């Protein structure tokens, strides 16, 4: 403004004869300068980047641009969240809390039922007034009674239908009058790595019931060693889905669903160490369905059985391998028959105590887990299984006709 409005006056001696005209000229210059400054300041905000977004009065075009940008941002947010929220809404009422109640004695030897632990479960069936819930075996293990808490807080007494320790699954039954919804089974075989998934359950107890976490399928067919009897020895390898969706204590038995709201896994295990973060596991629903159906029908998972008790060869001292088993020096892996049940498939085939199994149906067997996986995953009741085993240093062949494990 100073540069525009200020002008240099002529020397005093030169402007005396034209005092009036000089005054008018100066006044005109000030007026022109003021007008220029006014126009300049009116136009500068229009030229600055983003001016239209900061001042809605600067023009209709700028205001429309801001509104359009806000609408685009809102649209992106809705697109991202809609699938997840719709999936949760479609299945949330089918996810329940499962409370394990066990009897305890006080100082006066009076017994009462107290909460021993809580987990989650999924209602998958409501038929003829009876509702069925799938959960984890370890959630209800040792329970004297079971209580189910529905999504709306309603508590319903439940009874145990049956369990399967190998898959860590259990089915419980309850009155279905208050049930609002059941979960739809999906196809876990169709899942792809990186596909979004949602975990729903009750982490840390019923105070956080219906909690939702999201993630992706990190991996499929993960083999996780499991110690079933707490002796520090691996008894089984659970084949599970891996996800980075948070699965915490209390989530066990809860739902892992896809973006269609379909149940594709039962949350089961979580690795939580100082060096591992974001690794959760779920039992694939395609593996769980045959177990669920067998438990519903028979009260347990019916599997083929050999009729033997077994120990890993790796647990046998070297001296016993040489003296008792008379094994060749090059035999380092296998499974030792510890006992043979009367009238079992193994007994009928002629197998005896201290036979060392090294092969089933032409496949090498290195340990007890490999034997169980072959027996449970590839054979059915009534199938014939070829067995190769060492007895007193001699390799022998056996043919076993597998029977129902519940019959032994």
- What CATH number is given to the structural domain containing 380? 2.30.42.10
Residue 235 lies in a domain: yes
Residue 83 lies in a domain: no
Min mean pLDDT across 55-69, 269-283, 290-304 is at 55-69
Cα dihedral 350, 351, 355, 359 sign: positive
Longest pairwise C-alpha distance within the chain:
142
Min mean pLDDT across 205-209, 281-285, 340-344, 399-403 is at 205-209
What's the pLDDT at 2?
41
Question: Does 250 share its domain with 272?
Answer: yes
Question: Does 114 share its domain with 17?
Answer: no
Please state, in angstroms and rounded to a whole number, the distance separating the CA atoms of residues 401 and 334: 21
Question: Does 227 share its domain with 291?
Answer: yes
Question: Does 310 share its domain with 294?
Answer: no
Question: Does 280 share its domain with 316?
Answer: no
Q: Is the pLDDT of residue 376 over 60?
A: yes
Confidence label for 279 from pLDDT (cuts 50, 70 and 90): confident
Question: Does 169 share its domain with 206?
Answer: no
Domain C-terminal end among 298, 329, 357: 298
**Residue-range definition of the domain harbouring residue 377:** 304-407
**Averaged pLDDT for residues 364-370:** 94
Please state, in angstroms and rounded to a whole number, the distance separating the CA atoms of residues 156 and 180: 13
Please state, in angstroms and rounded to a whole number, the distance separating the CA atoms of residues 19 and 25: 10
Question: Does 42 share its domain with 104?
Answer: no
Residue 12 lies in a domain: yes
Q: Write the DSSP assignment of 12-70 as a string of letters.
A: HHHHSTTHHHHHHHHHHHHHHHHHHHHHHHHHHHHHSTTHHHH-GGG-HHHHHHHHHHH
Question: Does 329 share its domain with 241?
Answer: no
Retrieve residue 201's tokens. Answer: 């359950």
User: Pseudo-torsion of CA 365, 369, 370, 374, nearest 10°?
Assistant: 120
Helices assigned H by DSSP within 135-218: 137-140
With 0-12 / 13-18 / 19 or more C-beta atoms within 10 angstroms meaning exposed / middle / buried, residue 184 is: middle
Confidence label for 248 from pLDDT (cuts 50, 70 and 90): confident
Confidence label for 370 from pLDDT (cuts 50, 70 and 90): very high
Q: Is the pLDDT of residue 390 over 70?
A: yes
Q: Which CATH number fits the domain that encloses residue 106? A: 2.40.10.10
What's the pLDDT at 34?
56
Residue 84 lies in a domain: no
Residue 181 lies in a domain: no
What's the pLDDT at 71?
47
Residue 109 lies in a domain: yes
For 185, which DSSP code? B
Q: Which residues are catalytic?
A: 138, 168, 252
Confidence label for 253 from pLDDT (cuts 50, 70 and 90): very high
What's the pLDDT at 251?
85
> How many domains is the chain built from?
4
pTM (predicted TM-score): 0.73
Please state, in angstroms and rounded to a whole number, the distance separating the CA atoms of residues 243 and 195: 10
Residue 354 lies in a domain: yes
Question: Does 323 share its domain with 293?
Answer: no
Q: Is the pLDDT of residue 159 over 60?
A: yes
Question: Does 163 share its domain with 213?
Answer: no
Min mean pLDDT across 207-211, 334-338, 386-390 is at 207-211
């Amino acid at each position: 403004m100073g540069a525009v409005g200020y002008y240099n006056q002529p020397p005093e001696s030169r402007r005396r004869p034209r005092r009036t005209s000089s005054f008018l000229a100066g006044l005109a210059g000030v007026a022109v300068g003021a007008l220029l400054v006014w126009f300049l300041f009116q136009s500068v905000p229009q030229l600055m980047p983003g001016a239209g977004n900061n001042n809605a009065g600067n023009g209709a075009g700028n205001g429309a641009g801001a509104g359009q940008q806000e609408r685009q941002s809102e649209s992106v947010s809705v697109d991202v969240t809609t699938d997840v929220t719709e999936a949760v809404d479609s299945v949330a009422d089918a996810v329940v809390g499962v409370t394990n109640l066990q009897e305890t004695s006080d100082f006066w030897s009076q017994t009462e039922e107290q909460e021993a632990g809580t987990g989650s479960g999924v209602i998958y069936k409501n038929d003829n007034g009876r509702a069925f819930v799938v959960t984890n075996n370890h959630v209800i293990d040792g329970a004297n009674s079971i209580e189910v808490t529905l999504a709306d807080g309603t508590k319903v007494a439940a009874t145990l239908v049956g369990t399967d320790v190998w898959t860590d699954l259990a089915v419980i039954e309850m009155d279905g009058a208050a049930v609002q919804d059941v979960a739809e089974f999906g196809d876990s075989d169709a899942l792809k790595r990186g596909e979004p998934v949602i975990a729903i359950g009750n982490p840390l107890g019923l105070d956080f019931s219906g909690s939702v976490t999201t993630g992706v399928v990190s991996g499929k067919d993960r083999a996780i060693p499991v110690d079933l009897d707490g002796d520090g020895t691996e008894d089984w390898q659970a084949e599970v889905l891996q996800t980075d969706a948070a699965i915490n204590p209390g989530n066990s038995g809860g739902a892992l669903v896809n973006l269609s709201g379909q149940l594709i896994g039962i949350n089961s295990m979580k690795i939580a160490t100082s060096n591992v973060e974001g690794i959760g596991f779920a039992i694939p629903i395609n593996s769980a369905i045959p177990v669920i159906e067998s438990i519903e029908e028979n009260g347990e998972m019916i599997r083929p059985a050999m009729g033997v008790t077994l120990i890993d060869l790796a647990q046998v001292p070297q001296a016993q391998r040489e003296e008792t088993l008379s094994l060749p020096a090059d035999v380092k892996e296998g499974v030792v028959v510890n006992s043979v049940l009367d009238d079992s498939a193994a007994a009928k085939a002629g197998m005896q105590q201290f036979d060392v199994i090294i092969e089933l149906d032409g496949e090498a067997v290195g340990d007890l887990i490999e034997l169980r996986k072959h027996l449970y995953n590839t054979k059915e009741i009534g199938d014939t299984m070829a067995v190769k085993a060492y007895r007193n240093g001699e390799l022998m062949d056996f043919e076993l006709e597998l029977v129902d494990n519940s019959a032994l």
